Amino acid sequence: MPRDHSELKNFDVSDIQFFKRNGFLIKHQYFTSNQVSVMKGKSESYLSEFNKKKTLSGEDFLYEDSTSTLRLVRNVHKKSKFFQQLAFGRDLTSLVQHLTGLKPTVLNTKLNFKSAFTGEQFDWHQDSIYLGEENKNSVALIVAIDEVTHENGAMMIIPRSHENGIINVPHRDKMTDEDKSQYPLTRTLNLPYSLPNDVIEENYRRHGIESFVGKAGTLFAMHCSVFHASNLNLTPTNRASFLVRYKCG
């Protein structure tokens, strides 16, 4: 399935400059419809097998706060040869190396889901707070397995917010009353660390907000310190994406 992007014919120097400045990059139609079809089939097959086990909890599975709907599957590359080949293959690793100028190493992978009517929001956060200072130069690549629209809970990011470095925020279980006043009342409990409103407001005033939207097969590259969040999916259609994080250097 993977196509060799070692020459990156749909990639140029301006992409590197844009990524380094803004902390993200969107490449539309990076994967063909045939490739996406295979990817979608593999993810649905995996989920079908998983559902038969009727496993409701576990370190590799995360559910929505208010339902038993599956939100994500962690480290899917350890369970699926297909996603292992995709994560470690030149198709994606060569892109990361071109963007950063550093050799990438796979840190982890996920299948993310925004299920119809039940896909909940993610608070504003940085992935780097979970990865640690030693992985501060990490990059995440996200492949849209289904079309991502503004209506079905697209990921929002604040450009250039990676310039802040890793923001030290309290764990949700150790917040003081003063801490809690700086967070949205509807904050999700699935994120131990998320960013306070004043930090988001300050960066929004300077750089605004962009959204990751695109047809199935679109690829989104993001520095792991970029501030990002997502809304509810209240549409009647599911959407899935494959994420792989790389340590660079």
Taken as a whole, the chain contains a residue count of 249
Round to whole Å and give the CA distance between 150 and 154.
5
Which H or E element spans position 238? none
Q: pTM for the complete prediction?
A: 0.91
DSSP tally for the chain: helices H, then strands E: 7, 11
Residue 23 token pair: 């902390």
User: Hunting for tokens 């380094």 — which residue is that?
Assistant: 20
From first to last of its 249 residues, the chain has per-residue pLDDT tens of: 444 444 444 678 899 999 999 999 999 989 999 999 999 998 888 777 665 455 545 557 777 776 667 788 889 998 889 999 999 999 899 999 999 999 999 999 999 999 888 888 899 999 999 999 999 899 999 999 999 999 999 999 999 999 999 999 999 999 999 999 999 887 777 789 999 999 999 999 999 999 999 999 999 999 999 999 999 999 999 899 999 999 998
Paired strand residues for 26? 220
- What span, in angstroms and rounded, lies between the C-alpha atoms of 27 and 36? 14
Span 48-96, pLDDT tens digits: 766 545 554 555 777 777 666 778 888 999 888 999 999 999 989 999 9
> How far separated are the first and last CA of the chain, in Å rounded?
28
> Residues 6 or more apart from 70 whose CB is under 8 A from it?
47, 50, 61, 62, 63, 64, 113, 115
Token readout for 239 is: 């959407």
CATH T-level assignment (fold) for domain 13-248 = Jelly Rolls (2.60.120)
Do the beta carbons of residue 190 and residue 67 sit within 8 Å?
Answer: no
